[in-house]
Amino acid sequence: MTTLINGRQLADSMQEQMRLEVEKLGKQNAFPALVVFLVGDDPASKTYIKNKEIAAQKIGIHTKLEHYPSDISEEKLLIEIKKYNDDPHYHGILVQLPLPEHIDEEKVLLNIDPKKDVDGFHPINMGKLLSGKAEAIPCTPYGIMKMFESYEIELSGKNAIVIGRSNIVGKPMAQLLLAKNATVTMAHSYTKNLAALAKQADIIVSAVGIGNFVTKEFVRKGAVVIDVGMNRDENGKLIGDVKFDEVEPIASYITPVPKGVGPMTITMLMQQTIQACKRQELS
């Protein structure tokens, strides 16, 4: 019998706990606040930001949106970010990616104060994750670890494969699994015999960004399958990396798309904003 990992339900439960925590912080005169930078009018980015604002409102985290035209200069954007680095009322800074081509994403991320980097992408925070002393962790892998914890999925000694090697999901995901004593294989679009390799794994995390990429040929009976993909099929329907109907009967646990990993990503962003507030206001 396959268990569906319900990310929406887990996110709602965690967000309710966060709401109570934010109430307590208010009594200590600490009020978590997040500023989100959006450059241009990418529809997907606007949707993500709207979902973040809804979650923040529910929890009681103050959010401010700084929306700039797509032709803003890199220099001007960096000046705007510095304002919030220096503003003690804001504990978290998030720059919605992707940015227009004329702006260097790496330079922008470097200019966010690591203490306020609630997305966990600053090289200092990535380095802390690598050394096992993480403060801010990229939110999608962090959310997946919470799913494993909530569903009591054992990781120690297990063979895990991460398909996709981005800085946002793949690389930090591998580090988090290693920290829990899993044996991790990093795979990607150049990996030879990928299906045969994946079929040896107890845990598959797919973040390759190709719809229906992971078929039943990739999955052995009883494997745990985490689908990070957000793709559209030819009819515009939202689908994951995993061919769900084929894989679901084989897996022991599987995340659906939607209502799987997505809600957890936003939830962990809120969690890290609260943590950043506590570090900046109470320590």
Q: Tens digits of per-residue pLDDT, 41-57? A: 998 899 999 999 999 99
Say how far apart CA 140 and CA 261 lie, in whole Å: 7
Cis peptide before 69 (omega within 30 of 0): no
pLDDT-derived band at 260, boundaries 50, 70, 90: very high
pLDDT-derived band at 189, boundaries 50, 70, 90: confident
Whether residues 169 and 250 fall in one domain: yes
Whether residues 105 and 166 fall in one domain: no
Question: If you ran DSSP here, which 8-state letter would residue 241 be given?
Answer: S
pLDDT-derived band at 58, boundaries 50, 70, 90: very high
Would you say residue 72 lies in a domain? yes
pLDDT-derived band at 283, boundaries 50, 70, 90: confident
Please tell me which residue in 96, 175, 271, 272 is annotated as part of the active site: 96
- Known active-site residue 71: no
The domain total for the chain is 2
Q: Is 166 annotated as a binding residue?
A: yes
Would you say residue 120 lies in a domain? no
Average confidence (pLDDT) over 29-33: 98
Whether residues 164 and 236 fall in one domain: yes
3-state secondary structure of 57: helix
- Phi-psi group of 2: left, alpha or beta (phi > 0 → left; psi -120 to 50 → alpha; rest → beta): beta
> 231-232 and 238-239: which strand pairing?
antiparallel
Whether residues 162 and 246 fall in one domain: yes
Q: What is the mean pLDDT of the chain?
A: 96
Instruction: Supply the range of the domain harboring residue 83.
Output: 29-113
Please tell me which residue in 52, 116, 158, 171 is annotated as part of the active site: 52
Can you give the CATH number for the domain in which 69 is found?
Answer: 3.40.50.10860
Whether residues 109 and 144 fall in one domain: no
Whether residues 45 and 156 fall in one domain: no
- Known active-site residue 28: no
Would you say residue 6 lies in a domain? no
Please tell me which residue in 115, 117, 119, 243 is annotated as part of the active site: 119
Whether residues 101 and 64 fall in one domain: yes
Say how far apart CA 67 and CA 70 lie, in whole Å: 9
Whether residues 105 and 147 fall in one domain: no
pLDDT beyond 90 at 88:
yes
- Known active-site residue 227: no
Q: What is the pLDDT of residues 105-132, one digit of tens each?
A: 999 999 999 999 999 999 999 999 999 9
Alpha-helix residue ranges (DSSP H) falling in the chain: 7-27, 43-59, 74-85, 105-110, 123-130, 139-150, 170-179, 194-198, 244-247, 261-282
Q: Is 164 annotated as a binding residue?
A: yes
Whether residues 56 and 159 fall in one domain: no
Can you give the CATH number for the domain in which 253 is found?
Answer: 3.40.50.720
Record the pTM. Answer: 0.96
List b or e across 155-184, with b for residues whose CB sees 16 or more CB atoms inside 10 angstroms: beebebbbbbbbebbbbbbbbbbeebebeb
pLDDT beyond 90 at 236:
no
Whether residues 93 and 153 fall in one domain: no
Whether residues 108 and 147 fall in one domain: no
